[in-house]
Structure formats: C-alpha cells, structure tokens
Structure 1
Amino acid sequence: MSDTTVPDELVRLASADNFRDVAGTGPGYPTVDGGRVRRGAFFRSNELQLSSADAGVLADLGVTRIHDLRGQMEIEAHPDVEVPGAVWHHVEVSGIPMEMISGLEDADAAVRVMRQVYDVFVRAPEARASYAALLTDLATGPLPQLFHCTAGKDRTGWAAALLLEIAGVDRATIMADYLLTNTFSSATRTKYLALVAEHLGAEKKAVYEPTMLVEESYLQTAYDAVDELYGSVDGYLRDGLGLDDLLLAELRDRLTA
C-alpha cells in the first residue's frame, strides 16, 4: 500500500517500512561519471511480513527473486510472505549476535557490538562468500530483484552500499542513503523500544537503541576493514569476494542508466 505523504515516485509498503529502491528517489542517485543509478532494478527491505496488498505491490513491480540474508532461526520465527512471481533464495549473513546484546550494560557497549558486526561482514570468510553469492545473483539473474534481512539496516545496508559503490556513487551519497533507515524505520524502532521498556525497564531503552539505529561509524567500520585488508572497495570486490571484471561490469551495467 502506497503512503501518499511521500513523493509519488517513492513506493512505500505499509507492512515493510524499510523497503526502498537501491537507486533512491527521483531519477536515481547521480554517479561520478555523470550517469544515474537505474531505478526499478534492485530493491532492499526489512523482513517481508507483508500484507496481501503489499505482496501485490511487489508482484506488480515485477520482482523475480527475493534474497533473504537472515539466519535460519530468524526465518523460522518470521517467514517471508510469498510474493507471486518471485523465487525465494536463502543467502545467510550473520547479523547481531543475540548472546552479545542480551547482557548489554550501556549504550557504549551496544555501539561496540554494532561496529564488530560490520567488521565481521568484511573479515569473516562465510560473510564474504554470502555477499559474493548475492552480488553474483544480482548480476546474472532476471530483474528486478530484492534483498533483505530482519531490520533491513545492517546486512542489507552493507549490500546496498556495495551496489552503489559499484555503480559509481560518491561516498557521501552512499552514507546519506545508508542513514535513511533511521527515518524510514522510526515507527518500528519506537515499537521495539516500547517493548524493551515494558520487559526490561525504561532505563534500558537508551542501552538498546544503538542496536536499532544505523550510525555513520558502523558503516565506516566496514570500510576501514576493507581498506586494511584489501586497500580499496575494488580490491575487496575482486580479492575478498572473488568477483571478476566481467561480472562487475555486468552488474555496473544493470545498475546504471
């Protein structure tokens, strides 16, 4: 169901508030070579606990493939609603470890956990294999495609940042797009913080809020690991993920108008 309070060109889903086009709004994000990111090719989202109307919206958009980055326990707890015409694909990336956040003492500890999560996206061989599989499917499978995790902010946020890097979008724009989660998902965050207050006490809201937000330092942690290990995003894509020039060129062609 579209939200009429936002621009007409931005499709919003009432039952998945962090759903959006990777390309952004309007004509798509500009690239450094004077082009634009192509809209309608790749979509990102939080978990697809969709109303029938919103499932119909995704079907109308022509989504052919849904990549679920969540773990098995997350999937079993909240399985995706089937979208007509779309094939579901599981490509797991480890998210926020529940054992690490269950005993958080303060907000600083929560921030440290979140930075560690982003560091693992780059350093862990399993995460690199999953991101390689995802980007390969996005480069070779029929369009349009959608990828998501639980909140659509961390695992999904890194994937979206990589796509915009491949498209040639400048880093400041990529960071601004990443931070939009805090605006798009504000209602969901408010709901979960209310549950934290109810079950753990009002004083715990400030402790857990960093795990429900995105911060520039989180994404920067992933970039720092990339620079340390591979020298550049290009080096990470080629040496860390094992993507060759042809596949990256195919993905860049799909991403740019």
Structure 2
Amino acid sequence: MNDKGLVNFRDIGGIQVPSGKLQSGYFFRSGQIAGINQEQYSFLKDQCQIRDVYDFRSTDEVKQAPDTDISGAKYYHIDILSDKTSNGASLGAMITDGNQVHENMLKTYESIVLSESAQKGYHDFMIGLLKDDAPILFHCFAGKDRTGFAAAVILKVAGADDQQVMDDYLLTNKLRVQANEELLNRFKDEMDQQQLDNLHTALMVDPDYLRHANEVLLDHFGTFDDYLKNGLNLPTDYVAQFRNKFVTR
C-alpha cells in the first residue's frame, strides 16, 4: 500500500497468529496528521476509509498542531501521558541536557504502563475498538512510543508473538528516516551538536524501551492477561471478543 508519504504510517493487520490472521485494513498507525496534503487526505478518507481517529498526544501538542479533520470520521483525543508533568514523549522533552535520553525514555515507558492516565486512555481505546465497525487510525506526535505501545497491545491481544510485536515496533526506525532528517535540519541552527544528537536518539525507538515496558508490566501485574484485566480494567473475556471480531480463521 502506497502511504502517500504519511509519516510512520502502516497497517498492523495481516499477520498470522495461532488462531488465524489479524484482519488487515482495520488498524492503521502513524505519526500526527496535522497539515497533511490533499492526496494524503484522500488516501486516508477514501482508500483506508478511516472512520475513527484516536489522538494520543498531549493537549499542548494538539493545540500546536491540530489534526486535519477527516470528513466522516470521529475524532477522539486521549492524552495518554497527562499524568506526567513533563511529557517525555513530546518533542520539547526529547531534547534534554547531557546524555539522559535513554534513561528518560525508559521512564516514559514506565508511565505508559503504570500511570493512571495511560491505563484509562488505553482502556477507552481498547473498548472503542470493539465498538468500531470501520477502520481506525491511531497516532501520537511521532507515532513511535504512545502509539508503538498501543500497537503492541493490539498485536498481543490478537495472539502475535514477541518477535512479531518487536518487528512492528522497530519498523518505526525505517519509516521515520525522512521525517527525522527534516526535524534535525529544522533545528540545526538553534541547537548545539549534543542537543541534535539527543534529538536524533529520541526520535528512534530502541528494543530496550519495549522490553522495559514489558518487564514493568510483568513486575506489577504478573501476566499480560492480568494487565488487561487489572491495569486496563477490560472485561475478562476481552481477548475472546477481540479475536472473534478481528481474527479470521
């Protein structure tokens, strides 16, 4: 599928899982869709037939760059990290002093698993999926952390193994090459080399981040199923309902 240059865009469906295949054409992930061009707009509206857009960005991020409104689609703003006073997944927080980026990202992923705003946000998102009978797009700013974790949860619920989940997660590093270069160019006159290096690191995903999220999840909840039940407060038959709806034999 030609993504028309949409940043970090992909359909996470189509993969084989033990009970069949996760439907393609339902779950699209991307970076923010602010200021997209007419061709990209038509692609999302007519080809992907997006009917629900879930935006995981902070209120400030949304104010600075509101999503392009896709006619016929409902828009849901779910601020995943509103509990965090400094939103580590926003652009401003990515450019830290010294060499703290890796450490900061690990902390961000802890918040993605444990903060109340994330648990409530992903609860609302996952419940929304069962109500949706049409394709959805979910995204944050870069489409890599808050979105990457949401994609991982969907894939695991569908029955994907850890390698399949990690493969989708790491695809971000390939799909953001051009967008990352443009961002670095935009800031190259305002930042010193250390800040630019930090920004570059922050714009990448690292297997450590997702692995750390998984460790935190298991430490606190014991199993992924218990995270769904006790962390996200989803019904005990959620996985069965999801697979019944979205996994084809």
Answer yes or no: same fold by TM over 0.5: yes
| Structure 2 residue aligned with 1:46 | 31
Once the two structures are superposed, what CA deviation does each residue of 1:68-96 show, in whole Å capped at 9, x if it has no partner?
11111101111111112101111111252
**1:97 Cα deviation from its structure 2 partner:** 5.8
| Structure 2 residue aligned with 1:59 | 45
The CA RMSD over aligned residues, in Å, is 1.6
Secondary structure at the counterpart of residue 67 of structure 1 = strand
Query: Structure 2 CA distance, aligned partners of 1:203 and 1:124?
Result: 30
Secondary structure at the counterpart of residue 220 of structure 2 = helix
* Residue identity opposite 1:64 in structure 2: R
| Structure 1 residue aligned with 2:67 | 80
* Residue identity opposite 1:166 in structure 2: V
**1:103 Cα deviation from its structure 2 partner:** 3.7
Once the two structures are superposed, what CA deviation does each residue of 1:102-124 show, in whole Å capped at 9, x if it has no partner?
44212xx1000011111111111
**1:101 Cα deviation from its structure 2 partner:** 4.2
Secondary structure at the counterpart of residue 130 of structure 2 = helix
| Structure 2 residue aligned with 1:3 | none
Is 1:91 the equivalent of 2:83?
A: no
- Of residues 192, 196, 204, the one that matches 2:195 is 204
| Structure 2 residue aligned with 1:6 | none
**1:52 Cα deviation from its structure 2 partner:** 1.6
**1:205 Cα deviation from its structure 2 partner:** 2.3
* Residue identity opposite 1:233 in structure 2: F
Query: Structure 2 CA distance, aligned partners of 1:132 and 1:153?
Result: 19
- Structure 1 runs of 4+ aligned residues shifted over 3 Å read 97-103
Query: Structure 2 CA distance, aligned partners of 1:219 and 1:53?
Result: 33
Contact kept, 8 Å, 1:68 with 1:89, in 2: the verdict is yes
| Structure 2 residue aligned with 1:5 | none
Query: Structure 2 CA distance, aligned partners of 1:213 and 1:161?
Result: 17
Is 1:19 the equivalent of 2:4?
A: no
Query: Structure 1 CA distance, aligned partners of 2:161 and 2:220?
Result: 21
Which sections of structure 2, spanning at least 5 residues, go unmatched? Answer: 82-86
* Residue identity opposite 2:78 in structure 1: V
Secondary structure at the counterpart of residue 198 of structure 1 = coil
Secondary structure at the counterpart of residue 75 of structure 1 = helix
Query: Structure 1 CA distance, aligned partners of 2:194 and 2:173?
Result: 21
Contact kept, 8 Å, 1:96 with 1:117, in 2: the verdict is yes
| Structure 2 residue aligned with 1:29 | 15
* Residue identity opposite 1:215 in structure 2: D
Is 1:148 the equivalent of 2:133?
A: no
**Identical aligned residues as a percent:** 28
Which sections of structure 1, spanning at least 5 residues, go unmatched? Answer: 1-9
Query: Structure 1 CA distance, aligned partners of 2:239 and 2:161?
Result: 17
Is 1:104 the equivalent of 2:90?
A: no
